[in-house]
Amino acid sequence: GAGVSQTPSNKVTEKGKYVELRCDPISGHTALYWYRQSLGQGPEFLIYFQGTGAADDSGLPNDRFFAVRPEGSVSTLKIQRTERGDSAVYLCASSLGLRVSNTQYFGPGTRLTVL
Amino acid sequence: AQSVSQHNHHVILSEAASLELGCNYSYGGTVNLFWYVQYPGQHLQLLLKYFSGDPLVKGIKGFEAEFIKSKFSFNLRKPSVQWSDTAEYFCAVNPTNFGNEKLTFGTGTRLTIIP
């Protein structure tokens, strides 16, 4: 079956602009996660959805970052007033959402470059 | 908060050599442990995971890892590496307490296999 998909694969924007990054999880997965991976680092947690609600948004760095998942499937990560420090690969993952099977499957990521 | 340390940043081996990549975590409670691999140009893939039971877990492609609770370690091993094992390897931890779903990753180890 299809894996997690993310669009766009690359996004170049200018400092101060608004961007949206999209994630399409594996069908039937109720849990969805966003991570950010900077160069030379491991992925860092941003936010986790169970269904439509954000169960844990403790990793969002500040209020310029926001994510939604209105119908419990596709999610959009929104970044306002982008800064050069936001440049990174943004990863999305999904899982069945069951504690006993909390294996997260990752998408290919969106590489965001803020000029 | 939990953290994960991968002390080997870059490992270079010849084909058929044995591999051991270190992973240590800091967290006082029980955890789920994971190794993910990222091959060049591909997305993160699960290599193996430990939830409970036998501390020696076997994953795909001949990899295994041993959970040593007293040492807070989950080292990855392979008896004989191949050129195709060239990739970046990430260790990750997830506390088992209910409601905490996020993965905390190490900084990764880049493995280069010389033919």
- Residues A16-75 pLDDT 10s: 999 999 999 999 999 999 999 999 899 999 999 998 988 889 999 999 999 999 998 999
Q: Where does the pLDDT of residue A85 fall: very low under 50, low under 70, confident under 90, or very high at 90 and above? A: very high
Closest CA to B42 of A97, A26, A74, A9: A9
Q: Is A56 on the interface with B (CB under 8 A)?
A: yes
DSSP-assigned beta bridge partners for residue B50: B33
Q: Say yes or no: A60 contacts chain B, CB-CB below 8 A.
A: no
Question: How many interface pairs between A and B have CB atoms less than 8 angstroms apart?
Answer: 61
Residue B29: predicted pLDDT: 83
**Token duo for residue A54:** 């954000």
Nearest CA in chain A to B4: A42
Compute the distance between CA of residue A53 and CA of residue A62 in angstroms, rounded to an integer.
Answer: 19
For residue B21, the surrounding DSSP H or E stretch is: strand B19-21
Token pair belonging to A7: 């669009």
At B99, the pLDDT band (50, 70, 90 cuts) reads low
pLDDT digits (tens, 9 = 90+) for B54-94: 999 999 999 999 999 999 999 999 999 999 999 999 999 98
Between B37 and B31, residue with greater pLDDT: B37
